[in-house]
């Protein structure tokens, strides 16, 4: 694990098959999902309800899933994905919607809506270039 983290620049972003442990960011020292050691990764995954759901009942809310698959561990193997950490500005985070390989919508993700309009006005030219 050390060599993989080192190969990815020494700092990684962990996630499982479907979810990142973003609900456990309060457990880290800086409130992010930035991990430098396996212990950091383990702490976030162990503290995350999202990770627990992925590991125990990933299909529980799917309407087309048989009841027997909802009550026990699923058959596919969980996968731990480590990505290179990237420091980004939260106001520059977007959720993009793609259908048939075409961008059909974009949504700015802002943690504090009180600054949304000021940011959009300030960044209007940069945003139009980026998107």
pLDDT at 21: 92
pLDDT for residue 1 is more than 60: yes
pLDDT at 72: 53
Question: How far is Cα 34 from Cα 63, in angstroms, rounded to an integer?
Answer: 34
Which tokens go with 127?
């945003």
Overall pTM surpassing 0.75 (yes/no): no
pLDDT digits (tens, 9 = 90+) for 56-104: 877 777 777 666 555 555 566 889 999 999 887 666 677 889 999 999 9
Which tokens go with 38?
């396996």
Residue 95 main-chain phi, psi, to 5 deg: -105, 125
pLDDT digits (tens, 9 = 90+) for 20-66: 998 998 898 888 899 999 999 999 999 999 999 888 877 777 777 66
pLDDT at 7: 95
Per the CB < 8 A criterion, the answer to whether 40 and 17 are in contact is no
Judged by DSSP in three states, 92 sits in: helix
pLDDT digits (tens, 9 = 90+) for 105-128: 888 776 566 656 666 677 777 666
Rg from Cα positions in the chain: 18
Domain spans in the chain, listed from the N-terminal domain onward: 1-87, 89-131
């Amino acid at each position: 694990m050390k060599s993989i983290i080192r190969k990815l620049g020494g700092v990684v972003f962990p996630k499982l098959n479907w979810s990142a442990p973003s609900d456990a960011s309060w457990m880290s020292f800086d409130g992010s999902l930035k991990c430098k050691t396996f212990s950091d990764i383990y702490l976030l995954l162990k503290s995350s309800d999202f990770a627990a759901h992925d590991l125990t009942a990933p299909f529980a809310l799917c309407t087309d899933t048989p009841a027997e698959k909802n009550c026990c561990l699923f058959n596919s193997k969980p996968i731990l994905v480590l990505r290179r950490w990237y420091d980004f500005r939260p106001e520059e985070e977007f959720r993009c919607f793609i259908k048939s390989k075409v961008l059909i919508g974009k949504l700015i993700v802002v943690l504090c809506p009180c600054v949304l309009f000021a940011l959009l006005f300030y960044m209007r030219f940069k945003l139009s270039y980026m998107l």
